[in-house]
Structure 1
Amino acid sequence: MGFLIDAKRLVFGIETKKTTYAFAIDNLGLVRHLYWGEKIDSLDDFDVPPLSEISSNDPILDLTDEEYPVYGGMRYKENCLKVLFADGTRDIEYKYDGYTQTDEELVIHLKDAHYDFAFNLHYKVYEELDLIERFVSLENKMNESVTVEKIHSAQLHIPYQDLTLTSSHGHWLAEFQEFKQPLGQGKIVLENRRGISTHNHNPFFILDRQATETSGEVYYGILKLSGNFSTIIEPRPYGGTLVQMGINPHDCLLTLNAGETFVAPAMLFGYTTEGFEAMSHHMHDYAKQHVLREGVRPVLYNSWEATEFDVQCDEQIALARKAKEMGVELFVIDDGWFGQRHSDADGLGDWYVNEEKFPEGLTPLIDAVKGMDMMFGIWIEPEMVNPPTQLLKDHPDWIYHVENRVNDTSRNQMVLNVTLPEVQTFIFNMIDDLLSKYDIDYIKWDANRPISQTGLSREMWVRHIEAVYDIARRVKERYPHVLLEACASGGGRVDYGMLENGFDDFWTSDNTDAYDRLTIQNTYSYVYPIKAMRAWVTDANNRVTIPLRFKFHSAMMGTLGMGCNILKFTDEEMKLSAELIEEYKEIRDVVQNGDFYRLNHTSRNNYYCYEYANESEAALFVFLPQTQIARTGVRIKLRGLDETATYTFMLAGAEVRKTGAYLMNHGIDVKLSGDYASTIIKFKKSE
Structure 2
Amino acid sequence: MAILFDSTSRLFTLTTAHSMYQMKADRYGVLLHTWFGMKGSAFDYSYRIAYADRGFSGNPYDAGDDRTYSLDALPLEFPAYGSGDYRAAALKVRYPDGTSACDLRYLKHEIREGKYSLPGLPALYDAPDQEQQAHETPAPAGCRCGSRSDTLIITLEDTRRMFYVHLYYGVMEDLDIITRAVCVENHSEDDIYLENIQSVCVDYLHGEYDLHTFYGRHVKERNYQRSPLMHGSQSVGSTRGTSSHQYNPFLILSDRDTTEDTGNCYGFSFLYSGDFLGNAELDQYNQTRLLLGIHPDNFCYCVKPAERFYAPEAALAYSAQGLGRLSRIFHQAYRTHLCRGKWTAKRRPVLLNDWEGVYFDFDGDKLIQMARDAADLGIELFVMDDGWFGKRDLDVSGLGDWTVNEKKLGCTLKELSDQIHGLGLQFGIWFEPEGINEDSDLYREHPDWAFTVPGKQPTRSRLQLLLDFSREDVREYIFSHICQVLDSARIEYLKWDLNRSLADLYSASLPAKRQGEVMHRYVLGLYDMLEKLTQRYPDMLIEGCSGGGGRFDAGMLYYTPQIWCSDDTDAIERLSIQYGTSFGYPVSTMGSHVSHCPNEQTRRITPLNTRATVAMSGTFGYELDVNKMTEDEKTIVKAQIREFKEYYDLIQYGDYYRLTDPDTADAYHGWEFAAEDGSEALLCIVALQIHPNGPGRWMCLKGLNADSIYTVNDEEYPGDVLMNGGLLLPTAAEEYESFRIHIVECPAV
- TM-score, normalized by length of structure 2? 0.88
Q: Deviations over 1:452-499 (max 9, x none)?
A: 111352211111111111111111112111111110111001100101
Distance 1:306 1:532 in 2: 23
Distance of 1:168 and 1:482 partners within structure 2: 31
CA contact (8 A) 1:605 1:628 kept: no
TM-aligned CA deviation for residue 360 of structure 1? 2.8
Residue 628 of structure 1 pairs with residue 727 of structure 2: no
Query: In 2, are the aligned partners of 1:173 and 1:510 still within 8 Å (CA)?
Result: yes
1:170 aligns with 2:231: no
1:113-160 residue CA offsets vs partner (Å, 9 max, x unmatched)? 223311111111122232211111011122321111111111012344
Secondary structure of 1:628's aligned partner: coil
Residue type at the aligned position of 1:110: L
Shift of 1:48: 8.5
- 1:200-245 CA-to-partner distances (Å, cap 9, x unmatched) read 1000111222111110111121111111000010112112211000
Residue 604 of structure 1, CA deviation = 8.5
How far has the Cα of 1:543 moved from its partner?
A: 4.8
Instruction: Tell me the residue number matched to 2:334.
Output: 287
Give aligned-pair identity as a percent. 34
2:84 to 74, 88, 95: 74
1:380 shift after superposition: 0.3
Deviates more, 1:359-368 or 1:523-532: 359-368
SS at match of 2:251: strand
Counterpart AA for 1:519: S
Q: For 1:65-214, list aligned pairs within 5 A.
A: 65-103=75-113, 104-196=150-242, 198-209=244-255, 210-214=257-261
Unaligned runs of 5+ in 2: 60-69, 114-149, 507-511
State the partner residue of 1:519. 576
Secondary structure of the 1:438 match is coil
* 2:264 and 2:321 in contact (8 A); partners too: yes
| Offset at residue 57 of structure 1 (A) | 3.9
Distance 1:552-1:166 versus aligned 2 partners, 3 A rule: same
Asked whether the 8 Å contact 2:402–2:485 carries over to 1, the reply is: no
- Equivalent residue pairs, number: 682
Which AA in structure 2 matches 1:190?
A: V
Partners of 1:458 and 1:89 in 2: how far apart?
18
> Secondary structure at 1:357's aligned position in 2?
helix
Q: Which amino acid aligns with 1:675?
A: E
Alignment of 1:363-374 (within 5 A): 363-374=414-425
- Aligned-partner residue type, residue 623 of structure 1: V
Counterpart among 330, 354, 368 of residue 317 in structure 1: 368
Aligned match of 1:17: 17
> Which residue in 2 is equivalent to 1:640?
703
Separation in 1, partners of 2:9, 2:688: 60
Matching residue within 712, 715, 735 for 1:656? 715
The residue that corresponds to 2:673 in the other structure is: 612
CA distance in 2, matches of 1:590, 1:571: 30
The alignment status of 1:241 with 2:281, answered yes or no, reads no
Q: Answer whether contact 1:605 1:630 (CA < 8 A) is retained.
A: no
Amino acid at match of 1:685: E
* Counterpart Cα distance in 2 of 1:221 and 1:574: 44
**Distance apart, 1:356 and its partner CA:** 1.1
Please give the alpha-carbon distance, in whole angstroms, between the structure 1 residues aligned to 2:412 and 2:222.
Answer: 39
Q: Which amino acid aligns with 2:724?
A: N
Whether the 8 Å contact between 2:497 and 2:546 is mirrored in structure 1 is yes
The Cα shift of 1:357 comes to: 1.4
Please, which of 543, 547, 561 is the counterpart of residue 607 of structure 2?
A: 547
Q: Which aligned pairs between 1:255-654 and structure 2 lie closer than 5 A?
A: 255-292=302-339, 293-455=344-506, 456=512, 457-500=515-558, 502-539=559-596, 540=599, 542-600=602-660, 605-614=666-675, 615=677, 616-629=679-692, 631-650=694-713
- Bigger drift between 101-110 and 657-666 goes to 657-666
1:531 alignment partner, SS class: helix
User: What SS does the corresponding residue of 1:34 show, helix, strand or coil?
Assistant: strand
Distance (Å, rounded) in 2 between the aligned partners of 1:254 and 1:51: 37
Give, in whole Å, the separation in 1 of the partners of 2:52 and 2:263: 34
Determine if contact 2:656/2:672 at 8 Å carries over to the other structure. yes
Deviations 1:158-203 (A, max 9, x none): 3444212211111111111111111111211101010025111000
Q: Please give the secondary structure, in 1, of the residue aligned with 2:174.
A: helix
Distance 2:639 2:336 in 1: 32
The answer to whether the Cα contact below 8 Å between 1:197 and 1:488 also exists between their aligned partners in 2 is: no
Matched, 1:215 2:262: yes
C-alpha deviation, 1:50, in angstroms: 9.3
Question: What is the root-mean-square deviation in Å for CA atoms of aligned residues?
Answer: 1.9
* Offset, 1:88: 2.2
Structure 1 residue 427: Cα displacement: 2.2
Rate the CA distance shift 1:398–1:666 in 2: closer, same or farther, 3 A.
same
With over 3 angstroms needed to count, the CA separation of the structure-2 counterparts of 1:50 and 1:31, relative to structure 1, is farther
Contact 1:605-1:627 within 8 A present in 2 as well: no
Given that residues 710 and 746 in structure 2 are in contact (C-alpha distance below 8 angstroms), is that contact kept between their aligned partners in structure 1? yes
SS at match of 2:430: strand
Name the TM-score, length of structure 1 as normaliser: 0.96
* CA 1:342–1:231: 2 relative to 1, 3 Å: same
Residue 43 (structure 1) shift: 3.2
Segments of 5+ residues of structure 1 without an aligned counterpart are none
**CA distance 1:323–1:604, shift in 2 (3 Å):** closer
Aligned-partner Cα distance in 2 for 1:323–1:572: 15
Partners of 1:263 and 1:112 in 2: how far apart?
Answer: 17
Q: Does the 8 Å CA contact 1:176/1:524 hold for their aligned counterparts?
A: yes
Q: Shift of the alpha carbon at 1:633?
A: 3.0
Paired residues of 1:196 and 1:449 also in contact (CA < 8 A): no
Q: Is the 8 A contact 1:609 1:620 kept in 2?
A: yes
**Residue-by-residue CA offset, 1:278-331 (whole Å, 9 max, x unaligned):** 001101010122123112222111001122112311111111111111111111
